[in-house]
């Protein structure tokens, strides 16, 4: 019996290796749950362009927007684990797991984690015509007038949303949260002055800051960012405020390890390319891959961190 089980295991391993060697023989879709123009869309298209020649097949970005990315996640969760359906996993993935009462998948065992792609701080931005000239001014106003100042976000449960909750918690404020459905809508509202502020990714905010269409008041990293060296960290005004986001690639649960290793190797090769590093840097992020195990651990730690904030703030789960 033991010999039969061992033989069966070896046959399965041999089949997985053979599949990985033949993979891919048709285009691959990279599913993104957020609207065009957002940071996940920009990064998804960049990495798809870079790994397509390495894999020998076109990697096509497929948007499946709405509900904070849950439909996209569910679609990939239920897809065949054959490597032809992959998922862009965003920094909003752990916050969503912390905020939603239930999900149609398990946020850890429901996916195969393949590799991180990039890490980046957010930028605390306002309109260039806003009366608040710095973060200290903004915090003072927020404390003095509860509910007066508003923050845009990419949706309830997004990392943008919980950044607002972290701000309110540490500032002793009650700024208003205005959720959107991702994309460029939130940042356009800030630039127009219809909403007061936002914690936005470097990918989206940095070009607008450089163009003078947004004013950066702080960055969310522990130290000053090399991309905006003149902008102080938020922790200078609110001790303990630190938040770094990420983007990565995952797939359905149960992907064979040889297949995961193949995709991981090509992704990391693309991330080590000088042009890729420069393009990620231009977007305000650091190209940084990792092992599947490292990505899984990172996601688990992030989920725990945001769950503690949700519980401490007594935020109603959706």
Which of 39, 109, 96 is CA-nearest to residue 69? Answer: 96
Residue 231's CATH number: 3.40.190.10
SS3 for 212? coil
Do 249 and 101 share a structural domain?
Answer: yes
Question: Do 163 and 177 reside in the same domain of the chain?
Answer: yes
Residue 188 tokens read as: 């356009």
pLDDT at 137: 96
Instruction: Give the residue, 14 or 141, on which the prediction is more confident.
Output: 141
Residues 85 and 186 grouped into a single domain:
no
Low-confidence winner among 36-50, 171-185, 217-231 (lowest mean pLDDT) = 171-185
pLDDT category at 315 given cuts 50, 70, 90 is confident
> What stretches of the chain adopt beta strand conformation (E)?
28-32, 59-63, 85-90, 112-126, 150-153, 176-179, 197-201, 215-219, 244-251, 286-287
Residue range 142-164, pLDDT digits in tens:
999 999 999 999 888 888 999 99
**What is the domain count for the chain?**
2
Domain that holds residue 111: 26-119+244-313
| 257 within some domain | yes
Neighbouring CB atoms inside 10 A of 58's CB total 14
66 and 209 housed in the same domain:
no
- Whichever domain contains 91, its CATH number is 3.40.190.150
Same domain, 40 and 147: no
CA 201 to chain centre: 9
């Amino acid at each position: 019996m033991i010999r039969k089980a061992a033989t069966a295991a070896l046959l399965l391993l041999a089949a997985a290796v053979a599949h990985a060697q033949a993979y891919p023989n048709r285009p691959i879709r990279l599913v993104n749950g957020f609207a065009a123009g957002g940071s996940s869309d920009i990064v998804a298209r960049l990495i798809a362009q870079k790994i397509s020649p390495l894999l020998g097949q076109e990697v096509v970005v497929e948007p499946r927007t709405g509900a904070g990315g849950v439909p996209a996640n569910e679609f990939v969760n239920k897809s065949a684990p054959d490597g032809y359906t992959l998922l862009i996993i965003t920094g909003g993935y752990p916050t969503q797991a912390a905020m939603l009462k239930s999900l149609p998948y398990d946020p850890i065992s429901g996916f195969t984690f393949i590799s991180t792609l990039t890490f980046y701080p957010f930028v605390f931005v306002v309109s260039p015509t806003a009366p608040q000239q710095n973060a200290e001014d903004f915090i003072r106003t927020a404390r003095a007038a509860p509910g007066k100042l508003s923050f845009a976000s990419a949706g309830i449960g997004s990392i943008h949303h919980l950044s607002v909750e972290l701000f309110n918690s540490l500032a002793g404020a009650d700024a208003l949260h205005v959720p959107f459905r991702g994309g460029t809508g939130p940042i356009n509202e800030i630039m127009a002055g219809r909403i007061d502020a936002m914690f936005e990714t470097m990918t989206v905010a940095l070009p607008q800051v450089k163009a003078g269409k947004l004013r950066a008041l702080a960055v969310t990293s522990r130290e000053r960012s090399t991309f905006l060296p003149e902008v102080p960290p938020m922790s200078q005004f609110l001790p303990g405020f630190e938040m770094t986001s990420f983007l990565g690639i995952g797939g359905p649960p149960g992907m064979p390890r040889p297949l995961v290793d193949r995709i991981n190797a090509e992704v990391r090769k693309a991330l080590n390319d000088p042009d890729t590093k420069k393009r990620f840097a231009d977007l305000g992020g650091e190209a940084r891959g990792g092992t599947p195990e490292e990505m899984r651990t990172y996601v688990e730690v992030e989920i725990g961190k945001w769950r503690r904030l949700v519980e401490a703030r007594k935020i109603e789960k959706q």
